[in-house]
């Protein structure tokens, strides 16, 4: 320790001189009291020290302290906790003899080193029990965690116990670059290729429309199973919907089997794909997989009703029929129609007209809140159209149509179009429109302005509006077929025209959720994943509230019920139901809002994670390279006692000593205060003893 100050050394002498001067003036020049000589000298000495110390403290001196610390080398021990280690081996060995030797390893290292123990699989945890139960293995995240957690620490070595198999993250050889300490690997698992039949992969469509056929394929692998025979089967509701015999013709066999299924039921459908086991097979846990197909019957049904045949109709229909989400019915006025209630969107081309005023249809559209797209033209009866609450009224006195070019509104807020599409639409040919004056509602948003010649006017060519019940779109002209032909002529495809039509239909047909109680969650979870739900509750003014309590019951395939209550967070609700066993589940949720019960139900599935069973042959090569590249060494389980000896004998794995400097203001040190107080007290004591005051 030493004392530092900004001022030169002679300032310290001034402090001593000031203390001496003060003591002389007070006790030798002042003769008001008669004290014995030794008391005067004692009190003068105390006053000298007191004034010198106080004046020195005014120089803001700092106390510099140098602390030397010795840090032992840190050895990180990380053990693979995944299922693959025991799937193809004697699990009793790993749970008994091996773990005893592994736990002794840390004890032998603690004499020279500090030890940190981790287990890893899908996640990384410290000081956890090794259970060989993780469903995935991510070695690269282990290296990243060590880099982040022990940055600038004296890491001596990493001991990595694993079978070298990873199925998550990047290649460990890449992620280990930049590590400046040796890795000692313990090679677990079995590298011998043994007799095994593996259902390697099932490729299929996750989302299928009701009534459609969908294709799937199975990839089968077999090791040392030559001349064996097995059967592939696919079950749905305990019924076999596909089967095929497979003859294994070689010791390293691989085959892809393709098949077709029909989506005959709606909802989340469970299919079990399996291959029959063969004699002396090392493991049968990789002989089956569960797949879940979401079969939906949610195609948007669209009615396209025209006053008369027109090329615009085929231009629009050709776009919609390419998309499986839409089912289009096309009619000409006067033909027998299905009830309008059956449709999610109605497109009216030049309707209402004098020939077909469509009063009943318009009333049903309005009453049911069905979204509608009006395409206006020379046959449109404007007086009736102006009564339809479309967001615009048109007043025109001319009979002849005029050519109106489109100009995109760059600030259109309802949906996004690519900039390249905007540029192409701006060069589209004109539509034929009846000019006039316009009365536009405040709820309307203009997508395309009218451009006459080179002048862009504020008048709309295409706009959208929305009231509390439904959405409405209006195209103020006919001739959309010209846009399609022009798009193909200039760009060799119809992508820009198609995007304009599809985005328009998508915006109009998407239903707005107006319920007071909403549940949000995924419909698929992995078995190692927590089941989470979010919920929202609204009052009659559609304001978020979280006063009422939400109850939920989850029911498994056997009818067992799991009751839960949602937790509250500000204005929303959350529920973490934890992990559940693989299978299909339904949930029932309810909440009481202002004395009325609201209920929601749904379905989700929990998928089996069998990725750890697909590869049972250990990859010791990657463990050898990890050790070699970092200056370490690979060991086998029976050599585990040698690891501590090798590490303890390495001279470069040693303790380090580092110095730490610390500066403290002298005035902040509490015992300085007590020294000053002691000097004042002692001086007062001697003054009183000598009869002074």
Q: How confident is the model at residue 450 (pLDDT cuts 50, 70, 90)?
A: very high
User: Is residue 335 exposed (0-12), middle (13-18) or buried (19+ Cβ within 10 Å)?
Assistant: exposed
What's 651's DSSP letter? T
Mind listing the pLDDT tens digit for each residue in 622-643?
A: 999 999 999 999 999 889 989 9
Mind listing the pLDDT tens digit for each residue in 59-90?
A: 888 887 877 878 889 999 999 998 888 875 56
Structure tokens at 676: 């000053």
Confidence (pLDDT) at 373: 95
Confidence (pLDDT) at 356: 92
Contact status, residue 613 vs residue 83, Cβ threshold 8 Å: yes
Which residues make Cβ contacts (< 8 Å) with residue 41, sequence separation at least 6?
Answer: none
Average pLDDT (289-293) is: 85
User: Is residue 309 exposed (0-12), middle (13-18) or buried (19+ Cβ within 10 Å)?
Assistant: exposed
Report d(CA 174, CA 178) in Å as an integer: 9
Instruction: List the beta bridge partners of residue 440.
Output: 392
Question: Which residues make up the CATH 3.40.50.880 domain(s) of the chain?
Answer: 300-509
Task: Give the whole-number percent of the chain exceeding pLDDT 70.
Answer: 96
Confidence (pLDDT) at 286: 82
Mind listing the pLDDT tens digit for each residue in 387-414?
A: 888 889 988 766 678 899 999 998 898 8
Structure-derived torsion over alpha carbons of residues 620, 623, 625, 631, reported in degrees to the nearest 10: -140
Name which of 20-29, 253-262, 300-309, 669-678 the model is least confident about.
Answer: 20-29
Confidence (pLDDT) at 692: 59
Within 10 angstroms of residue 97's Cβ, the number of other Cβ atoms is 13
Confidence (pLDDT) at 24: 80
Instruction: Specify the residue for token string 């009619």.
Output: 331
Alpha-carbon distances, residue 352 vs 4, 250, 376, 432 (angstroms): 95, 72, 9, 18
The CATH superfamily holding the domain 196-296 is Immunoglobulins (2.60.40.10)
Which residues make Cβ contacts (< 8 Å) with residue 69, sequence separation at least 6?
Answer: 657, 658, 659, 660
Alpha-carbon distances, residue 396 vs 380, 422, 442 (angstroms): 12, 29, 21
Report d(CA 104, CA 108) in Å as an integer: 6
Within 10 angstroms of residue 86's Cβ, the number of other Cβ atoms is 20
Confidence (pLDDT) at 588: 95
What's 614's DSSP letter? S
Confidence (pLDDT) at 283: 78
Residues in the chain: 693
Element (H or E) spanning 672, and its range?
helix 670-689
Mind listing the pLDDT tens digit for each residue in 489-537?
A: 988 889 999 999 999 998 888 776 678 899 988 888 888 889 999 999 9
Within 10 angstroms of residue 357's Cβ, the number of other Cβ atoms is 15
Report d(CA 660, CA 152) in Å as an integer: 15
Report d(CA 101, CA 108) in Å as an integer: 11
The dihedrals phi and psi of 6, each to the nearest 5 degrees, come to -75, -20
| pLDDT exceeds cutoff 60 at 585 | yes
Report d(CA 214, CA 208) in Å as an integer: 7
Q: Which of 188, 12, 154 is nearest to 72 (CA)?
A: 154
Pick the CATH number of 300-509 from 3.10.20.30, 3.40.50.880, 3.40.50.300, 3.40.50.460: 3.40.50.880
More confident residue, 670 or 575: 575
Question: Which residues make up the CATH 3.40.50.410 domain(s) of the chain?
Answer: 73-189+618-654
Task: Give the whole-number percent of the chain exceeding pLDDT 90.
Answer: 34
Contact status, residue 204 vs residue 214, Cβ threshold 8 Å: yes
Confidence (pLDDT) at 307: 93
Report d(CA 656, CA 73) in Å as an integer: 8
Instruction: Specify the residue for token string 């007062």.
Output: 684
End-to-end Cα separation, the chain, in angstroms:
40
Confidence (pLDDT) at 32: 57
Give the pTM: 0.58
Average pLDDT (566-594) is: 90
517-607 adopts what CATH topology?
A: Immunoglobulin-like (2.60.40)
| pLDDT exceeds cutoff 80 at 31 | no
Question: Which residues make up the CATH 2.60.40.1220 domain(s) of the chain?
Answer: 517-607
Report d(CA 142, CA 626) in Å as an integer: 13
73-189+618-654 adopts what CATH topology?
A: Rossmann fold (3.40.50)
Question: Which residues make up the CATH 2.60.40.10 domain(s) of the chain?
Answer: 196-296
User: Is residue 632 exposed (0-12), middle (13-18) or buried (19+ Cβ within 10 Å)?
Assistant: buried
């Amino acid at each position: 320790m030493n004392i530092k100050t900004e001022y030169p050394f002679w300032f310290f002498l001034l402090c001593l001189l000031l203390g001496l001067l003060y003591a002389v003036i007070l006790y030798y020049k002042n003769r008001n009291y008669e004290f014995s000589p030794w008391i005067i000298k004692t009190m003068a000495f105390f006053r000298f020290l007191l004034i010198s110390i106080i004046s020195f403290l005014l120089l803001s001196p700092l106390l510099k302290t140098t602390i030397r610390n010795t840090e032992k080398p840190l050895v990180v021990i990380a053990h693979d906790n995944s299922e693959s280690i025991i799937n193809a081996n004697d699990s009793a060995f790993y749970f008994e003899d091996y773990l005893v030797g592994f736990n002794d390893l840390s004890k032998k290292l603690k004499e020279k080193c500090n030890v940190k123990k981790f287990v890893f699989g899908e996640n990384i945890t410290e000081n956890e029990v090794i259970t060989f139960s993780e469903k995935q293995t991510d070695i690269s995240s282990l290296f990243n965690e060590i880099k982040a957690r022990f940055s600038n620490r004296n890491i001596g070595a990493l001991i990595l116990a694993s079978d070298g198999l990873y199925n998550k993250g990047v290649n460990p050889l890449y992620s280990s670059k930049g590590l400046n300490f040796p890795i000692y690997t313990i090679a677990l698992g079995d590298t011998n290729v043994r007799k095994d039949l593996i259902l390697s992969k099932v490729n299929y469509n996750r989302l299928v429309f009701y009534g459609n056929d969908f294709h799937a394929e199975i990839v089968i692998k077999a090791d040392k199973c030559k001349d064996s025979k097995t059967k592939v089967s696919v079950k749905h509701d305990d019924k076999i919907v596909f089967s095929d015999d497979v003859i294994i013709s070689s010791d390293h066999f691989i085959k892809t089997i393709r098949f077709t299924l029909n989506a005959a039921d709606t909802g989340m459908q469970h299919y079990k794909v399996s291959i029959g086991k063969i004699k002396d097979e090392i493991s049968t846990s990789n002989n089956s997989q569960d797949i879940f197909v979401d079969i939906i019957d949610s195609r948007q049904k669209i009615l396209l009703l025209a006053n008369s045949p027109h090329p615009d109709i085929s231009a629009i229909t050709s776009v919609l029929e390419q998309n499986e989400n839409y089912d289009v019915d096309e009619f000409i006025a006067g033909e027998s129609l299905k009830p309008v209630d059956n449709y999610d969107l109605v497109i009216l081309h030049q309707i209402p007209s004098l020939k077909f005023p469509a009063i009943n249809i318009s009333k049903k559209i309005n009453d049911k809140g069905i979204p509608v797209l009006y395409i206006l033209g020379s046959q449109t009866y404007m007086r009736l159209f102006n009564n339809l609450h479309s967001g615009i009224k048109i007043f025109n006195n001319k009979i002849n149509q005029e050519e109106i070019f489109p100009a995109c509104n760059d600030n259109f807020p309802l949906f996004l179009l690519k900039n390249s599409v905007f540029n192409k639409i701006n060069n589209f040919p004109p539509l034929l429109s009846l000019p006039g004056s316009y009365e536009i509602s405040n709820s309307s948003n203009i997508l395309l302005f009218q451009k006459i010649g080179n002048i862009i006017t504020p008048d709309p060519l295409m706009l959208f509006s929305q009231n509390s019940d439904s959405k409405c779109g209006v195209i103020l002209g006919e001739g959309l077929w010209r846009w399609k032909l022009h798009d193909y002529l200039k760009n060799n495809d119809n992508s820009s025209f198609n995007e304009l039509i599809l985005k328009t239909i998508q915006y109009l047909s998407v239903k707005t959720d107006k319920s007071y109680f909403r549940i949000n969650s995924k419909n698929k979870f992995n078995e190692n994943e927590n089941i989470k739900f979010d919920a929202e509750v609204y009052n009659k003014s559609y304001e978020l509230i979280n006063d009422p309590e939400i109850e939920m019951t989850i029911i498994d395939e056997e009818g067992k019920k799991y009751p839960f209550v949602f937790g509250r967070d500000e204005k929303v609700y959350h529920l973490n139901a934890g992990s559940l066993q693989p299978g299909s589940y339904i949930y029932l949720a309810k909440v009481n809002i202002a004395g009325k019960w609201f209920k929601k139900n749904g379905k989700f599935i929990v998928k089996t994670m069998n990725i750890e069973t697909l590869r049972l042959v250990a990859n010791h090569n990657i463990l050898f390279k990890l050790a070699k590249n970092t200056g370490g060494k690979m060991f086998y389980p029976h050599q585990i006692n040698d690891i501590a000896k090798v590490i303890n004998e390495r001279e470069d794995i040693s303790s380090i000593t580092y110095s730490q400097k610390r500066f403290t203001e002298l005035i902040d040190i509490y015992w300085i205060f007590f020294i000053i107080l002691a000097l004042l007290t002692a001086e007062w004591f001697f003054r009183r003893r000598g009869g002074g005051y």
